[in-house]
């Protein structure tokens, strides 16, 4: 649909960008900020580690008999933790790179 060409600065006022509550760490692309993602992931990793711990305890207390599921939970927590560490490393690298930029 074509609109007739109009003069600039007429119908589309230029608004200042409103401050968006708690400042997102890096510019968001229509989703959560990195900080929020990091916090969510941290909580989830925590939850998975706790679950794995509980399953191991259940194994040793004799509540469960199934080793396969306990080991699966332990591995799951391990992979999640690894991923979190790697995200953190990459973020630190990115931050350092930005710091070294000549402005």
Partner 1 sequence: MFFENLINRGSLPALVSTAAFTEERHRMIAENVANIGVPGYKTRQLDVKAFQSALGRALDRRGSDPRNPFVLEGNRQVRTNERGELVVTPTKRPVENLLFHDGTNLSIERQMSDLAENAMMHELTNTLLRKKYDGLHKAIRGRS
Partner 2 sequence: MYGTLDISTSALVAQRRQLDTISGNIANMHATRDANGQPNPYRRRVALFATGDPSRGRGAPGVHVARIVNDPSPFHLKFDPDHPDAVMAGPQKGYVRLPNVDLSTEMVNALFAVRAYEANVTVMEITKSMAASDLRLLA
Phi then psi dihedrals of residue 13, to 5 deg = -70, 145
Determine if 80 is a binding residue for partner 1 (CB under 8 A).
Answer: yes
Among the listed ranges 9-17, 24-32, 68-76, 93-101, the one in contact with partner 1 (CB under 8 A) is 68-76
Q: Is 64 in the site for partner 1 (CB under 8 A)?
A: yes
Nearer to partner 2, 75 or 89 (CB): 75
Whole-angstrom distance, CA of residue 47 vs CA of residue 45: 5
> Interaction with partner 2 in 4-33: which residues (CB under 8 A)?
none
Distance, CA of 37 to CA of 25 (rounded, Å)? 10
Site for partner 2 in 44-103 (CB under 8 A): 65, 67-68, 71-72, 74-75
For 15, half-sphere exposure in the C-beta direction (CA atoms, 13 angstrom radius) is: 5
């Amino acid at each position: 649909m074509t609109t007739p060409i109009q003069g600039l600065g007429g119908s589309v006022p230029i608004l200042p960008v409103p401050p968006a509550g708690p400042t997102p760490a890096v510019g968001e692309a229509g989703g959560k900020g990195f900080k929020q993602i990091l916090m969510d992931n941290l909580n989830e990793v925590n939850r998975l580690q706790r679950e794995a711990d509980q399953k191991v305890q259940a194994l040793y207390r004799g509540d469960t008999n199934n080793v396969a599921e306990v080991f699966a939970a332990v591995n799951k927590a391990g992979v999640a933790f690894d991923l979190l560490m790697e995200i953190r490393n990459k973020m630190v690298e990115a931050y350092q790179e930005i710091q070294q930029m000549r402005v």
